[in-house]
Amino acid sequence: MTYTQRILAKGAGKNEVRGGELCLCELDLALGNDITVPPAINLFEKHFPDGKITSRSKIVFCMDHFTPCKDIRSANNVRQCREFARSHENILFYDVGETGIEHCFIPERGLAAPGGIIIGADSHTCTYGALGAFSTGIGSTDLAVAMRTGKCWFRIPEAIGFRLSGSLPEGCSGKDLILYIISMIGTDGALYRSMEFFGDGVASLSMDDRFTVCNMAIEAGAKNGFFPFDKAAEAYLEETGAEYDRAFVDGNLLPEAAPESGEYIRIIDIDLASLVPMVAKPHKPSNSVPVASLKRTEIDQVVIGSCTNGRISDLRAAASVLKGKHVAPFVRCIVIPGSQKIALQAIEEGLASIFIEAGAVFSTPTCGPCLGGHTGVLADNEKCVSTTNRNFVGRMGPVSSEIYLASPRTAAEAAVNGYIGGALL
């Protein structure tokens, strides 16, 4: 079995599962946010009128998309989540001042762990595969049922294996790696399959790189992304205090356990040393090309942050470019840390000062501009370089606006230059 299939077999109480099989699995964590929890609550109250949550899994409500609340409707959504959580003591509720962008916040709180089965009513829940978990996005209906039963149905995915060698060159990151992969296989190249990463090159990737890669697995249509459990993951989990089944992990999820046969329908070899900084042109993540090959394009805004690239290493990379420089005239630069912890660390390290002195805005943690919600909505025909995960038509504003996806370093360079493409800093 692939790594993913081993985890799902364990959750289903089976010795073995295969691609295409339907299984009912016990969950370790069910997650929702201020957009997806309200319809889940409505469905829960409709179908389970006794109001009892009988799930043994952890249930987390993380307020992040439109918070701090941008208008009356978003405030009422959060109020509904807050009141429901208050009436059910087994729900972990995180709001402004305590939380952050869910997929940055959940791992650092020790809520995601290897071998776990995690569902979230948000498509980028696949982020936690970086820690060796099976983690995938679901809808609000599934979340409502999970709150009741602690279970969810899955069709067992087949897998595409990515065998990594070498190490990333200076100036490249996990964002460049995943943009390169999506440009190679397309936005449906891994449709309902797990993307599993193994090989000697994995050890050279930081945990933040791995979070970024798994976060964007969904942009290739994947069910989930996955990295084996190694020393880097172990060190990260020691810091967060996450609990997990060490015997299962040691027996199934270590790098040497990579099953390079069987359910892998394809194995792709990637030499990390061969990569270059990438940028995804409008309007698909698969529209990715080397930055140097892109025709010079004037921009109006830069966003550095999100669940994809709002971690401390991302902010450090951006600050290393912006230090002693200034954002180009008529360009807005918005920097958004992924959580309160990351924000505080950025302040303590002096990164926030670098951003502000460079003429950028240093924001509170929020999803905000990524989905065109607030804190950076575009105007007609404006162009934005963003470290977020999607550049669909109308994603950050009107349909005439354009989004270019890039790494924090590339985005910061574009902010200083006032353009993306060609020779940057």
Task: Tell me how far apart the 2 most distant CA atoms of the chain are, in Å.
Answer: 63
> pLDDT (tens digit, 9 = 90+) per residue, 289-313?
999 999 999 999 999 999 999 999 9
CA distance between the termini of the chain = 46
All structural domains of the chain, each given as residue ranges with its CATH number in brackets, are 3-274 (3.30.499.10), 280-420 (3.30.499.10)
Mean pLDDT of 99-113: 95
Tell me the pLDDT band of 423, cut-offs 50, 70 and 90.
low
Residue 273 burial (CB count, 10 A) = 13
Q: What is the pLDDT of residue 261?
A: 63
Residue 212: C-alpha distances to residues 178, 275, 307 (Å): 8, 16, 8
Tell me the pLDDT band of 99, cut-offs 50, 70 and 90.
confident
> pLDDT (tens digit, 9 = 90+) per residue, 225-239?
999 999 999 999 999
The answer, yes or no, to whether the previous bond of 124 is cis (omega within 30 of 0) is no
pLDDT beyond 70 at 262: no
pLDDT beyond 90 at 56: no
Mean pLDDT of 404-419: 97
Distant-in-sequence, close-in-space partners of 9: CB < 8 Å, separation ≥ 6: 1, 15, 16, 17, 23
b/e map of 181-219 (b: 16 or more CB within 10 Å)? bbbebebebbeebbbbbbbebbeebbbbbbbbbbbbbbb
Tell me the pLDDT band of 198, cut-offs 50, 70 and 90.
very high
Tell me the pLDDT band of 257, cut-offs 50, 70 and 90.
confident
Question: How confident is the prediction for the chain on average, in pLDDT?
Answer: 95
Mean pLDDT of 328-356: 97
Token couple for 113? 């762990």
Mean pLDDT of 74-93: 95
Q: What is the pLDDT of residue 98?
A: 87
Judge whether 217 and 190 are in contact, CB under 8 Å.
yes
pLDDT beyond 80 at 260: no
Q: How far apart are alpha carbons 284 and 323 in whole angstroms?
A: 31
Q: How far apart are alpha carbons 24 and 70 in whole angstroms?
A: 39
Mean pLDDT of 37-55: 94
pLDDT beyond 90 at 424: no
pLDDT beyond 80 at 170: yes
Distant-in-sequence, close-in-space partners of 206: CB < 8 Å, separation ≥ 6: 174, 232, 313
| Percentage of residues in the chain having pLDDT higher than 70 | 99
Tell me the pLDDT band of 259, cut-offs 50, 70 and 90.
confident
Give me the sign of the Cα torsion angle 185, 188, 193, 195.
Answer: positive
Tell me the pLDDT band of 425, cut-offs 50, 70 and 90.
very low
> pLDDT (tens digit, 9 = 90+) per residue, 57-71?
899 999 999 989 999
Q: How far apart are alpha carbons 23 and 156 in whole angstroms?
A: 7
